């Protein structure tokens, strides 16, 4: 019986295995890590505790299926080479190894500045910095940060910054301070419970810089066959989702705003040069004369 080889056993790899085993197909899954939890473990911020446990159980269940052979601690490219896997007559090889390399920022000289971070190591830092065995980058979260992106992951980054800024100010004032509880309640509500006024903390907050308008931010999906009424409703829902999140976590959004360069003062990265966009036929088009510095 031929088998399918799956590289990476997290959400994508395990879902593939679930579908294949349901059709009676044997699967061999290799993963570089001890457990194949991928982004669920090290991508989603640590407050997604319930979702994480649910996904872990789902993956564990699939890995224990009688038609699945799970091979942990095996990294393709290091422990196993392409020629090794091509020597075996698999019925198919399925790459489900995720997207662990952040897309480069368009002005790559930004990588020379210590106050610039890519999302993957930043979220990894947030998830693990409190562990004694943590060996990743160290992050100094400062006020007035700019987060360039759009979508769920960039909103999570804004939330992490806001939570960390508040933590810096109130951790010593609140007995049993817990950042995950503050995420679940929302910053304002959590502070209210402890008789602290957010405005008194003197935090300006992070700004999400997005090149399109909020209606075009992929926060909710719009099915392909939607009529114009449905599209309008879903787009309005996107604005509402973002507004609710902003109310809870108090970050700002600069929509239709596109970075055009770095703002460097005395060799320090102080901000970004930007231009405003207008949306024409769903595409962002730069507005001449709207250049500015954030
Ligand atoms: C900050 C953040 C917030 C997010 N929020 C949401 C959300 O709210 N809702 C939502 O639906 N999605 C969200 N996502 C996206 C979601 O987490 C991912 O899309 C999904 O988990 C990706 O699953 P995957 O299986 O494709 O990849 P991964 O989870 O990256 O899994 C890849 C697997 O392949 C293994 N692997 C990689 N390279 C090799 C190799 N060479 N050899 C062997 N094994 C290898 C890895 O160890 C890993 O187990 C978020 C992502 C981020 C980063």
Closest CA to 56 of 39, 73, 32: 39
Asked if residue 102 is part of any domain, the answer here is no
> 191: burial class by Cβ within 10 Å (0-12, 13-18, 19+)?
buried
* Same structural domain, 179 and 249: yes
Return the ligand 1 atom nearest residue 97 CA: 34
* Same structural domain, 16 and 115: no
Share of the chain above pLDDT 70, in %: 100
* pLDDT in the model for residue 101: 83
pLDDT digits (tens, 9 = 90+) for 55-110: 999 999 999 999 999 999 999 999 999 999 999 999 999 999 998 788 999 999 99
For ligand 1, whether the C-beta of 151 sits within 6 Å is no
* Same structural domain, 48 and 118: no
Helices (H), 194-276: 228-249
For ligand 1, whether the C-beta of 6 sits within 6 Å is no
Asked if residue 51 is part of any domain, the answer here is yes
Q: How far apart are CA 174 and CA 167, in angstroms?
A: 10
For ligand 1, whether the C-beta of 149 sits within 6 Å is no
Q: How far apart are the first and last CA of the chain?
A: 60
Q: How far is the CA of 157 from the centre of ligand 1 (A)?
A: 16
Q: How far apart are CA 100 and CA 80, in angstroms?
A: 19
pLDDT digits (tens, 9 = 90+) for 139-153: 999 999 999 999 899
Return the ligand 1 atom nearest residue 40 CA: 21
Q: How far apart are CA 74 and CA 78, in angstroms?
A: 8
The CATH number of the domain holding residue 24 is 3.40.50.720
Asked if residue 244 is part of any domain, the answer here is yes
Asked if residue 101 is part of any domain, the answer here is no
* Same structural domain, 86 and 162: no
* Same structural domain, 287 and 144: yes
Mean pLDDT, rounded, of the chain: 96
With a CB cutoff of 8 Å and minimum separation 6, the contacts of 104 are none
* Same structural domain, 90 and 113: no
Q: How far is the CA of 30 from the centre of ligand 1 (A)?
A: 15
* Same structural domain, 117 and 91: no
Mean per-residue pLDDT, 116-138: 93
Place of tokens 């954030």: 294
* Same structural domain, 132 and 243: yes
* Same structural domain, 225 and 88: no
Q: How far is the CA of 123 from the centre of ligand 1 (A)?
A: 13
Asked if residue 19 is part of any domain, the answer here is yes
Return the ligand 1 atom nearest residue 99 CA: 30
When divided into structural domains, the chain yields a total of 2
Q: What is the CA radius of gyration of the chain?
A: 22
Q: How far is the CA of 71 from the centre of ligand 1 (A)?
A: 18
> In this model, does residue 1 exceed pLDDT 90?
no
* Same structural domain, 153 and 58: no
Closest CA to 149 of 140, 161, 139: 161
**DSSP at 198:** G
Mean per-residue pLDDT, 107-126: 96
Q: What domain range is 260 assigned to?
A: 108-293
* Same structural domain, 44 and 176: no
For ligand 1, whether the C-beta of 14 sits within 6 Å is no
Mean per-residue pLDDT, 2-11: 97
> In this model, does residue 215 exceed pLDDT 80?
yes
> In this model, does residue 135 exceed pLDDT 80?
yes
* pLDDT in the model for residue 184: 97
* pLDDT in the model for residue 282: 83
Mean per-residue pLDDT, 41-53: 91
Mean per-residue pLDDT, 120-146: 94
Closest CA to 217 of 272, 273, 155, 263: 155
> In this model, does residue 138 exceed pLDDT 90?
yes
Q: How far apart are CA 158 and CA 251, in angstroms?
A: 7
pLDDT digits (tens, 9 = 90+) for 22-37: 999 999 999 999 999 9
* pLDDT in the model for residue 183: 98
Q: How far apart are CA 19 and CA 23, in angstroms?
A: 7
Q: How far is the CA of 266 from the centre of ligand 1 (A)?
A: 39
Task: State the angle between helix axes of 49-63 and 11-22 in degrees (0 to 180), rounded to the nearest 10.
Answer: 40
The DSSP element (H or E) to which 60 belongs, if any, is: helix 49-63
Q: How far apart are CA 19 and CA 3, in angstroms?
A: 14
Q: How far is the CA of 56 from the centre of ligand 1 (A)?
A: 13
For ligand 1, whether the C-beta of 155 sits within 6 Å is no
Q: Kindly state the tokens that stand for 78.
A: 């290091």
- Of 95, 118, 141, the domain-final residue: 95
* Same structural domain, 68 and 178: no
């Amino acid at each position: 019986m031929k088998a399918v080889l799956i590289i990476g056993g997290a959400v994508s790899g395990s879902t593939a295995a679930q579908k294949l085993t349901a059709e009676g197909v044997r699967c061999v899954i290799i993963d570089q890590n001890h457990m194949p939890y991928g982004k669920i473990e090290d991508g989603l911020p640590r407050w997604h505790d319930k979702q994480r446990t649910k996904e872990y159980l789902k993956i564990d269940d699939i890995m224990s299926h009688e038609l699945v052979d799970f091979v942990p601690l095996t990294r393709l490219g290091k422990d196993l080479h392409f020629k090794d896997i091509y020597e075996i007559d698999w019925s198919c090889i399925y790459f489900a190894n995720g997207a662990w390399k952040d897309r480069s920022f368009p002005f790559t000289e930004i990588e020379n500045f210590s106050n610039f971070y890519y999302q993957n190591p930043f979220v990894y830092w947030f998830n693990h910095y409190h562990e004694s065995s943590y060996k990743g980058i160290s992050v100094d979260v400062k006020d007035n940060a700019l987060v360039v992106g759009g979508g769920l992951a960039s909103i999570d980054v804004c939330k992490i910054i806001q939570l960390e800024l508040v933590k810096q100010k109130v951790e010593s004032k609140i007995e049993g301070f817990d950042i995950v509880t503050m995420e679940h309640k929302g910053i304002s509500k959590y502070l209210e419970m402890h008789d602290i006024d957010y405005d008194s903390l003197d935090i300006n907050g992070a700004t999400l810089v997005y090149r399109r308008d909020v209606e075009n931010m992929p926060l909710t999906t719009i099915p392909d066959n939607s009529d114009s009424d449905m599209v309008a409703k879903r787009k309005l829902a996107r604005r509402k989702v973002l507004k609710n999140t902003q109310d809870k976590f108090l970050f700002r959004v600069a929509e239709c705003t596109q970075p055009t360069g770095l703002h460097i003062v005395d060799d320090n990265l102080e901000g970004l040069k930007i231009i405003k966009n207008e949306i024409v036929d769903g595409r962002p088009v730069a507005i001449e004369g709207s250049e500015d510095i954030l």
